[in-house]
Amino acid sequence: MMEKRVCTRCLLRDMIEAGDSMEMIEKYRAAIKEADRVTEEVYESRLSVCRECGKLNAGTCMACGCYVELRAVAAVSRCPKKKW
């Protein structure tokens, strides 16, 4: 029997079994007014910083416990480690 592994440096969207979580993230993103969201370019830039961070574990920031894909979309959000 194969052992399940957790992708420590993956975002939820990169994980095969993230189905329900990704639906929740997409609903959350859609619910935020466009004026309150960062641009797609800034969003992707923030996520690339998160991908390189040692605190990322299976889509979750271990510094604060958030899903990084949710935190990164809101214009008012900041990285708890002050990386963005």
Bridge partner list, 67: 60
Domain ranges, residue 53:
14-71
Percent of the chain with pLDDT over 70: 80
pLDDT for the residue numbered 10? 73
Q: Tell me whether residue 76 is in a domain.
A: no
CA dist 4 and 68 (Å) reads 22
Domain membership flag for residue 18: yes
Which tokens sit at 29?
Answer: 């993103």
pLDDT tens readout for residues 35-67: 999 999 999 999 999 999 999 988 899 999 998
Q: Which residue(s) pair with 56 in the sheet? A: 61
**What's the pTM?**
0.76
Report pLDDT for 75: 97
Domain count, the chain: 1
pLDDT at 2 over 60: no
In a domain, 62, yes or no: yes
Across 15-26, average pLDDT: 68
Q: Is 3 inside any structural domain?
A: no
The DSSP string of 19-60 is HHHHHHHHHHHHHS-GGGBPPHHHHHHHHHHHHH-TTEETTE
At 62, list the tokens.
Answer: 């271990």
